[in-house]
Amino acid sequence: MLDRPETPFHRPAQDPQSRARHWSPFLVKRHLIEDQIGALSDARMEDGEIRARSIVHPMCQDAIESLTPATEVTLNVLLPGETRTVVRDNANRIELCLQGEGRVSAGRDLEVNRHDVWTIPPMQPFTYEVQGSKPLVWLSYANTALLRRLGAYVKETGPFTLKEETKGVLTDEKKSAYSRHGAPDILMPDGIARLRGYEHLTDIEEIDSRAMHWAWRDIEPRLPLAPGEMAGTDKRNIWLLYNPATGRRQGTTGTYFATYGGCGPDIPAYAGDRGHRHTSASINYHTRGSGSSIVDGERICWEEGDLLYSAPAWLEHAHYHGPNGWTVLTVQDHPMHIAMGSLLWQEDMTGPIYSLGAGEGQKGYVSPREVGA
Ligand SMILES: [Fe+2]
């Protein structure tokens, strides 16, 4: 807690870091994850309890469990024959299957397997079940931490009030008169600014925001992972798992993008000593290979199965894969920053800083520090 004088009036912060230090990069080793999977698998569950643990950063001190200031990452286990109860909340999630297979029901049924990625949209009731013989183990990346810090997290366990049940409260005539289509929308004298009715705030245009699923078997052939394979037009070192509902924010969900990246054993590692930086915070899960990352001057060694908070906001970082190459799932809160207009990007640490989405974007790069041919 800060020791503040009793008056509510304080000098505004001059140094952006004066009130809050960066959370440092943080590595969670594979053996700790595996030990926790074992403990969750063996645990006796009380009614309503779930086999899940939040992975908490040591600098997280406000009793809101999270790995980064905005993101809660949970490790989840579901045993054969078990079903996770239906819930819904206003968070969005990217999920990654680490082991086993199962069914995710979130408006549509997804059959998920190892290294598949899927999403759960906000306010979509969702549940999980395992019908096979192996436990389903998955990581879930959710903006529950940010929502809790805002006091804006809402969760329901049902029964849920569906839109159809509110029919009849208002007449169709009133509905159409007081919708965004009938509300005033007046151009101001400068020819740019507008003055709009309240209905524009509450009757937002709908988009199709269904759960998405990317099977690893559909991504793997597009990554140059085998000896002799090179990145080209049909294979790339990084692929964005894009959800069209996020539009220009280039997201996998409204808050996050996920990318799968990697290379094979005969691709030399990056030889430079400078990295890049961005205001989005990045989390890497290494599904194959080994190597190291230099984050804010600190070298961190990682290997297959390690989870790394690899790039706290606006810290310089570079990744160096080992002799066998690597495969990595990266999750960043990049679309959230595009929505706020706060996404800054500096690919070359001696070059310009770009305000992505507000001005001309960074051109010439096909992956971090790799200039397009
Ligand atoms: Fe990065």
The CATH number covering residue 350 comes to 2.60.120.10
Q: How far is the CA of 276 from the centre of ligand 1 (A)?
A: 6
Q: How far is the CA of 311 from the centre of ligand 1 (A)?
A: 6
Q: How far is the CA of 245 from the centre of ligand 1 (A)?
A: 24
Which pLDDT band holds residue 230 (cuts at 50, 70, 90)? Answer: confident
Q: What digits encode the pLDDT tens for the residues 252-275?
A: 999 999 999 999 998 899 999 999
Q: How far is the CA of 154 from the centre of ligand 1 (A)?
A: 31
Question: What pLDDT was estimated at residue 16?
Answer: 64
Q: How far is the CA of 371 from the centre of ligand 1 (A)?
A: 15
Look at residue 182 and tell me if it is in a domain: no
Q: How far is the CA of 330 from the centre of ligand 1 (A)?
A: 9
Question: What pLDDT was estimated at residue 2?
Answer: 62
Q: How far is the CA of 57 from the centre of ligand 1 (A)?
A: 19
Distances (CA, A) of 52 to 37, 80, 137, 198: 9, 15, 10, 42
Dump the DSSP string for 221-245: GGS--STT---SSS--SEEE---GG
Give me the sheet containing 126-129, strands edge to edge: 109-112, 102-105, 126-129, 83-89, 155-156
Look at residue 366 and tell me if it is in a domain: no
Asked if 266 contacts 226 with a C-beta cutoff of 8 angstroms, the reply is: no
Question: What pLDDT was estimated at residue 49?
Answer: 87
Q: How far is the CA of 14 from the centre of ligand 1 (A)?
A: 27
| Residue 231 pLDDT exceeds 70 | yes
Q: Which residues, including other chains, have CB under 8 Å from residue 356's CB and lie 6 or more apart?
A: 338, 343, 344, 345, 362
Structure tokens at 129: 């079940």
**What number is the average pLDDT over the span 169-182?**
81
User: Which of 208, 278, 272, 214 is CA-nearest to residue 241?
Assistant: 214
User: Which of 110, 95, 160 is CA-nearest to residue 331?
Assistant: 95
Structure tokens at 255: 């808050």
Q: How far is the CA of 248 from the centre of ligand 1 (A)?
A: 19
Q: Which domain holds residue 146?
A: 26-155+207-360
Q: How far is the CA of 33 from the centre of ligand 1 (A)?
A: 24
| Residue 295 pLDDT exceeds 70 | yes
Q: How far apart are CA 88 and CA 105, in angstroms?
A: 12
Between 20 and 231, name the one with better pLDDT: 231
| Residue 240 pLDDT exceeds 90 | yes
Cα atoms in the Cβ-side hemisphere of radius 13 Å centred on 355: 6
Q: Which residues, including other chains, have CB under 8 Å from residue 27's CB and lie 6 or more apart?
A: 300, 302, 306, 307, 308, 309
| Residue 218 pLDDT exceeds 90 | yes
Q: How far apart are CA 341 and CA 92, in angstroms?
A: 20
Look at residue 131 and tell me if it is in a domain: yes
Q: Supply the pTM of this predicted model.
A: 0.94
Cα atoms in the Cβ-side hemisphere of radius 13 Å centred on 172: 0
Asked if 300 contacts 292 with a C-beta cutoff of 8 angstroms, the reply is: yes
Asked if 254 contacts 243 with a C-beta cutoff of 8 angstroms, the reply is: no
| Residue 33 pLDDT exceeds 80 | yes
Look at residue 195 and tell me if it is in a domain: no
Q: How far is the CA of 149 from the centre of ligand 1 (A)?
A: 25
Q: How far is the CA of 368 from the centre of ligand 1 (A)?
A: 7
Q: What total of structural domains would you count in the chain? A: 1
